[in-house]
Amino acid sequence: MSDTVIVNEVGLRDGLQNQPRLVPVEGKLAILEALIAAGVKSVEATSFVSPKAVPQMADAGELFARLPRDRGVAYAALVPNEKGYERAVEAGAKTIALVLAATETLNRKNINMSLERATEVNIAVIKRAKAEGIEARSYISAAVGCPYEGGVAPEVVFGLTDRMLDAGADEVAIADTIGCGNPAQIKHIFSTLAQRYGPEILSGHFHDTRGMGLTLTWAALECGIRKFDSSIGGLGGCPFAPGASGNLATEDLVFMLNESGFECGIDVTGLRAAVKVAEEQTKQKLGGRVVAWLESQERRKKAAASAAAE
């Protein structure tokens, strides 16, 4: 099994979409530059959704057109339907992501469709993307629990994954949208799907609502999964899913991977600089759990150096 893990940064999309302070294109590009400097090579940059529903993403077309293309970074754009798909492709997207909630109520809250209708729309967009040479990534959101309906049966997730892959999806991301999952659930879902389809076509998207993000990641790693979403500084939260607090912080994920011998090509020190840029743009204190620990270690070293110099 490969020791290389792809860290897919979703802070510019999932991280910012629910922030009360609008971050302009220049601010988003500044965050992106800091992430690239740290070694990030995979980014979900924005979503082509209704500006009325998600004002933070109103600049999707302009942002996507201005993304640096000469830095070896793979960019994706989230789309809710065929209209969003067309806007994304027109802006230059080569990879699109779709979200299909595992429950009836969350689909209606999120995209105003029934579960079956949302499934049909996702299938139609995936088939069109494949026909037009566009890569398609499919999120199965609320995969272990819904803020409105409670627990989700694994069989529902398996069935939806089957349908997305049958339609031609290049990847399926299992998303614990509100951070309510436990390692046993995640291991069961990923081990079942990995045995059925192979781990390379799967990825994980975890929120850290209950401080379980890294634990869920490790459970998926043990199933052979080697791609995970994360958000710089722990930014995040779905505007249509109450209780969906911040995503797993990129710096926490990368620190764990590096410490555990996995290769992801990202530098934690560089990510700390990116956290600072994100703080400046959002005007809020950010940072995963490892940031406070690293800062405490620096203070101890400075204190020790100062004492030795006296």
Query: Residue 231 and residue 224: Cα distance in Å, rounded?
Result: 22
Q: What is the 3-state secondary structure (H, E, C) of 23-72?
A: CCHHHHHHHHHHHHHHCCCEEEEEECCCCCCCHHHCCHHHHHHCCCCCCC
| DSSP H stretches of helix in the chain | 25-38, 60-65, 82-90, 104-111, 115-131, 154-167, 183-197, 213-221, 250-259, 268-282, 289-309
Of the candidates 146, 180, 238, 264, the residue annotated as catalytic is: 238
Active site residue 146: no
Residues in the chain: 310
CA dihedral for 40, 42, 47, 48, sign (positive or negative): positive
* C-alpha distance from residue 5 to each of 10, 114, 203, 265, 287 (Å): 16, 35, 10, 9, 21
Residue closest to 158 by CA, chosen among 125, 205, 122, 190: 190
Residue closest to 100 by CA, chosen among 46, 43, 149, 172: 172
What token pair was written down for 95? 């990879």
Instruction: Return the active site residues.
Output: 238
